[in-house]
Amino acid sequence: MSSKNERLRDEILKRSGVNPKKCMRCGKCSATCPAYDEMEYHPHQFVSMVENGDIEPLINSKGIYRCLSCFACVDRCPRGVEPAKLVEAVRLEVIRKQGANHLTADGVEAFLDGEIPQQAIVSALRKYSK
Amino acid sequence: MQVNEYKPLIVAFCCNWCSYAGADLAGNNRLNYPAEVKIIRVPCSCRVNPMFVLRAFQRGADGVIICGCHPGDCHYTSGNYFTRRRMALLFSMLDYLGIEKERTRVEWVSAAEGAKFAATMNDFVEKVTALGENKRLEDLRCKK
Amino acid sequence: MQRIGVFVCWCGTNIAGTVDVKAVAEALKNEPGVIVSTDYQYMCSQSGQQMIKDAIAEHKLTGIVVCSCSPRMHETTFRKTAASAGINPYMVEIANIREQCSWVHKDMPIGTEKAIILGKAAVAKVNLNAPLTPGESPVTKRALVIGGGIAGIQTALDIADAGFPVDIVEKKPTIGGKMAQLDKTFPTLDCAACILTPKMVDVAQNDKIRIFSYSEVTDVKGFVGNFDVTIRKHARYVKEDVCTGCGACIEKCPMKKVPNEFNLGMDNRTAIYIPFAQATPKVATIDPNYCNMLKNGKCGLCAKVCAAGAIDYTQKDEFIEEKYGAIVVATGFNPISMEKFDEYAYSQSKDVITSLEFERLTNAAGPTAGKLLRPSDGKHPHTIVFVQCVGSRCEACAEKGKEYCSKICCMYTAKHAMLTRDKYPDTDVYVFYIDVRTPGKNFDEFYRRAVEEYGVHYIKGMVGKVTPEGDKLKVQASDLLLNKQLHIDADLVVLAAAIEPDKSARPLATLLTASMDTNDFFTEAHPKLRPVESPTAGVFLSGACQGPKDIPETVSQAGAAASKVIGLLAKDKLTGNPCVAHSDEMMCNGCSSCERVCPYGAITYNDKEFRMPDRTTLIRRVASVNPAVCQGCGACTVACPSGAMDLHGFASSQIMAEVDAICK
């Protein structure tokens, strides 16, 4: 496996606090995901790819911005794996790779997409209200 | 001649159902461990009164080890859980009194773990030997 | 002062090879109390034992120390030797100089030195030994079975078959349990009623078995062989011995809108009712929550139509006290509540049902007379989705589901899917699974038949949510092998709900002082070797109260529990282990510390009158140990702050003496 990156995987796991070994491959996360068809890697794949250290394809995927951070997968996972937190951790990895985030409040509007809820706002809301 | 070689005195309390049988198994398999270890048979590790441990240290023991069934396997369902808690308290108190934590130990040895028993005893004796002679707890009642 | 004889065994060269046995015997001669000290090649041999007997007679010995192999090996042998020579068998102590000395040390001087110390410790202990006599207690030759499902029925029948009287206590108005509600049974597909109801009839007709239906156990006292049990027989407002079960009252009862719990509320019954046609005992019961006569004194129709005159509106709860030698717990299981699984819309749609409700829907005696019809509109469903593991293997949401696998769901879902396809080939059946677990005789073949011959669509994946829309249920699910999200318009969704122990199990365990795990399943005395016994002596486990089980497993466990009960009841007297705890009443402060740590409930507290100086008396609360229940672990001896508790055979003074001998 060429894309295997254990250092990055450990970093993602540490950042998200998720233990993908708890996953029993039931697929309820993917069954419950409202953005399923928008993502090239579906929630259950996301979990197993992180577990295997396949992080690069995830970083380069558009799907991480299609995740609504609705946390349905977190809520319904019978094993408490919390896939959405992994998605968030990968997103953070992208941001950190790009260096400091120079976005100001005034600049946000330009990025707003009418179709998809604004990612950062939604995930921040989830993070701080949970 | 090794006249001055230090030999510690170790008292081992072993529960009848797991650890004593584990010690027997170590014997059956001829697994050597130091003769400094002297075993006292008790029905369950929870029978070991902290008084017995204190008494051993009063009388000059250099180390005390208590062996019981693995958690969840106790012949009496819950005895080893009591042991674990009682001894955690006792050992930290002894440590405070100057009897180092390495001189006291609780270990789970099942009836099938003869090798573990021997290895545990070897390790324990080695650690206690390294610490050298123990301070003796003074028994004020016995003072003449 | 004891008169002690020390006998050092060579065990051929096993001991004598590493230990100088002569030196050991010589060294122990000077120990306090030792009268005679000698050695022999094989102490356990006939002549070795004779040597001990002769020494006892010659020197009037009161205590024996044998320095030999492990007490686990020959303690019993030497105790018997001592007993046959006329001294108490518990006056014998073994110094283990083989397994724990000669076999693990190589050096003769070191081995000899250790053997002497071990011998001294044994002598020090024997000096403090006291003769012990095992207690005896009589056995009441009657068994109690709590729970009248298939587990309880089988256990009762097997015990009665051996000739012992059995009482079954069942909290419902009839025995039969969950099995009576089932339609067919996997993997052979025989109808549950056809195989269960003959057994129920056997129970009713067996003159060794009494059924206390509509009753519960309210108090248990005593111990193995001698339990005193109080049974509360709820008033059913019908004289059980008079009612003929003709059903005339049921026809006339005007209260016809009572949810029928036997059909899980999917249809109605009357306020006076017989749960189902083959109910045992076949006696009507009045539901006091719905009966007009009992609620406001207006009606009395059932009493008017009852030709036998069995109706009695003034009946009261009755308390029955009975003695039993053994108690079998067979309290069974229930499906967990689905209310908390909002994503499956169980509380929003009538067409989302549990598997047990599905059983009733396909049962010929059920609310639809066996026709598979949707509960909402009575139409035939064309697309059915089965969801497995609903609440099972659910670690994250302890308040919703259960961490364990419920074991029976894979097989009954395969059965439901297969039977549906068999009866209604125009129906599409989907089963969403995480794993299909079929370890059992002919189980996997059965599941494969459902897929290969009956064309059930098994999909590896899970249902994420169910949304009622019009008369359809929109099912959103994942197919992990195709890596697709599926959207199915279903007519009926069946949830394989996890099973949990009956709610009555926890309070019952408290009454019995039987231990339970965190899931409220009863714990067995040993998970492999004593699977049908509770750690509490005299309490046995049968069926799903011990863990999820299917019918064949339940029946075999029920038989096993029965054989254990028969083994107990066949004894006239129980001989106990004399190495039990005992409390010194003068020292006991009544703090209850010992009571709390005792895993067997062997310790009780009683007020006792003590004579004081000046002819006064004092009443104090003191502990007493029931020697028949105590197993001799000694937890209480350490918990006791005043030192009142001690253990026979392993007294504190004895262990202290051993410590002293070793640390000299």
- Count of CA atoms in the C-beta half-sphere (13 A) of C229: 32
Partner residue opposite A30 with nearest CB, options C397, C434, C485 = C485
**What is the distance in angstroms between the Cα of B35 and the nearest Cα belonging to chain C?**
6
Helix (H) or strand (E) holding C223: strand C215-223
Distance CA C389, CA C432 (A): 9
Q: Give residue B47's pLDDT band: very low, low, confident or very high (50, 70, 90).
A: very high
Model pLDDT, residue A43: 94
CATH assignment at residue A96: 1.10.1060
**Residue A1 belongs to some domain of the structure:** no
Strands C581-583 vs C63-68: parallel, antiparallel or unpaired:
unpaired
- Ramachandran bin of B85, using left for φ above 0, alpha for ψ from -120 to 50, beta for the remaining angles: alpha
A2-16, B66-80, C126-140, C474-488: range with lowest mean pLDDT: A2-16
Asked if C393 and C434 count as a contact pair (C-beta separation under 8 A), the reply is yes
- 3-state class (DSSP) for residue C489: strand
Q: Give residue C32's pLDDT band: very low, low, confident or very high (50, 70, 90).
A: very high
Q: How many domains does chain A have?
A: 1
Residue A1 has pLDDT above 50, yes or no: no
Q: Do C434 and A22 touch (CB under 8 A)?
A: no
- 3-state class (DSSP) for residue C65: strand
In this structure, what token pair is assigned to residue C467? 């949304």
Distance CA C421, CA C424 (A): 5
In this structure, what token pair is assigned to residue C200? 């129920």
Asked if C229 and C219 count as a contact pair (C-beta separation under 8 A), the reply is yes
Identity (one letter) of the amino acid at B84?
R
Strands C184-185 vs C484-490: parallel, antiparallel or unpaired:
unpaired
Asked if C549 and C524 count as a contact pair (C-beta separation under 8 A), the reply is no
C476 touches chain A (CB under 8 A): yes
Q: Give residue B1's pLDDT band: very low, low, confident or very high (50, 70, 90).
A: very low
Model pLDDT, residue C321: 96
Query: How high is the mean pLDDT of chain B?
Result: 89
Q: Do B38 and C106 touch (CB under 8 A)?
A: no
> Tens digit of pLDDT for each residue in C361-379?
999 999 999 999 999 999 9
Residue A17 with chain C: CB contacts under 8 Å? none
Task: Supply the angle between the helices A6-16 and A43-51 in degrees, to the nearest 10.
Answer: 120
Residue B87 has pLDDT above 90, yes or no: yes
- 3-state class (DSSP) for residue C353: strand
Tell which A residues from 68 to 127 touch C, by Cβ distance under 8 Å: 72, 76-81
Cα Rg of chain A, angstroms? 14
Q: Do B77 and C103 touch (CB under 8 A)?
A: no
Give residue C237's Cα distance to chain centre. 33
Q: Do B60 and C599 touch (CB under 8 A)?
A: no
Burial of A101 (0-12, 13-18, 19+ CB in 10 A): exposed
Q: Do C105 and B44 touch (CB under 8 A)?
A: no
Residue C235 has pLDDT above 60, yes or no: yes
Q: Identify the closest residue of chain C to A77 by CA–CA distance.
A: C396
Distance CA C445, CA C452 (A): 10
- Count of CA atoms in the C-beta half-sphere (13 A) of C307: 5
Domains in chain C, ordered, with CATH?
Answer: 4-127 (3.40.50), 143-332+504-569 (3.50.50.60), 334-500 (3.50.50.60), 581-648 (3.30.70.3270)
> Tens digit of pLDDT for each residue in C178-211?
999 999 999 999 999 999 999 999 999 999 999 9
Domain extent for A63: 6-129
B3-12, B83-92, C112-121, C452-461: range with lowest mean pLDDT: B3-12
- Neighbouring CB atoms inside 10 A of C54's CB total 11
Q: Do B79 and C101 touch (CB under 8 A)?
A: no
Model pLDDT, residue B142: 56
Distance CA C130, CA C557 (A): 42
Asked if C4 and C129 count as a contact pair (C-beta separation under 8 A), the reply is no
B119 touches chain C (CB under 8 A): no
B84 touches chain C (CB under 8 A): no
**Residue A42 belongs to some domain of the structure:** yes
Q: Looking at residues C548-552, what average pLDDT do you find? A: 96
Partner residue opposite C480 with nearest CB, options A27, A36, A79 = A27
Q: Looking at residues C534-547, what average pLDDT do you find? A: 93
**What is the distance in angstroms between the Cα of A31 and the nearest Cα belonging to chain C?**
4
**What is the distance in angstroms between the Cα of C659 and the nearest Cα belonging to chain B?**
6
Residue C215 has pLDDT above 50, yes or no: yes
Asked if C97 and C151 count as a contact pair (C-beta separation under 8 A), the reply is no
**Residue A58 belongs to some domain of the structure:** yes
Distance CA C633, CA C625 (A): 13
Q: Do C485 and A36 touch (CB under 8 A)?
A: yes
- 3-state class (DSSP) for residue B83: helix
Distance CA B82, CA B80 (A): 5
B63 touches chain C (CB under 8 A): no
What are the distances in angstroms from CA C82 to CA C52, C54, C66?
8, 10, 11
ipTM above 0.90, yes or no: yes
Which residue pairs from C45-51 have beta carbons closer than 8 angstroms and sit at least 24 positions apart in sequence? C48/C7, C48/C9, C49/C77, C49/C78, C49/C81, C51/C7
Among the listed residues C398, C446, C437, the one whose alpha carbon sits nearest the alpha carbon of residue C419: C446
Residue A130 has pLDDT above 50, yes or no: no
Q: Do B46 and C633 touch (CB under 8 A)?
A: yes
Domains in chain B, ordered, with CATH?
Answer: 12-135 (3.40.50)
Residue C637 with chain B: CB contacts under 8 Å? 47, 49
Residue B46 with chain C: CB contacts under 8 Å? 597, 633-635, 638
A28-37, A103-112, B56-65, C468-477: range with lowest mean pLDDT: A103-112
SS (H, E, C) C354-417: EHHHHHHHHCCCCCCCCCCCCCCCCCCCCEEEEEEEECCCCCCCCCCCCCCCCCCHHHHHHHHH
Query: How high is the mean pLDDT of chain C?
Result: 94
SS (H, E, C) C615-641: HCEEEEEEEEECCCCCCCCCHHHHHCC
**Residue A95 belongs to some domain of the structure:** yes
Q: Give residue B73's pLDDT band: very low, low, confident or very high (50, 70, 90).
A: confident
Q: Give residue C131's pLDDT band: very low, low, confident or very high (50, 70, 90).
A: very high
Strands C226-233 vs C318-324: parallel, antiparallel or unpaired:
antiparallel
Residue C601 has pLDDT above 50, yes or no: yes
Identity (one letter) of the amino acid at C157?
L
What are the distances in angstroms from CA C230 to CA B87, C213, C218?
42, 14, 6
C460 touches chain A (CB under 8 A): yes
Among the listed residues C468, C335, C481, C459, the one whose alpha carbon sits nearest the alpha carbon of residue C385: C459
Distance CA C39, CA C9 (A): 6
Give C341 or A96, the one with higher predicted confidence: C341
Residue A107 has pLDDT above 70, yes or no: no
> Tens digit of pLDDT for each residue in B93-139?
999 988 999 999 999 999 889 999 999 999 999 999 999 888 777 76
Q: Report how far apart the first and last C-alpha atoms of chain B are (Å, whole number).
A: 37
> Tens digit of pLDDT for each residue in A74-83?
989 999 999 9
Residue C10 has pLDDT above 70, yes or no: yes
Asked if C274 and C246 count as a contact pair (C-beta separation under 8 A), the reply is no
Q: What is the phi/psi pair of residue C624, to 5°?
A: -135, 145
**Residue A65 belongs to some domain of the structure:** yes
Identity (one letter) of the amino acid at B118?
A
Residue B2 has pLDDT above 60, yes or no: no
Model pLDDT, residue C379: 94
In this structure, what token pair is assigned to residue C640? 């006791």
Q: What is the phi/psi pair of residue C149, to 5°?
A: -80, -165
Q: Identify the closest residue of chain C to B118 by CA–CA distance.
A: C104
Question: In chain C, pLDDT over 90 holds for what percent of residues?
Answer: 89
Identity (one letter) of the amino acid at C303?
A
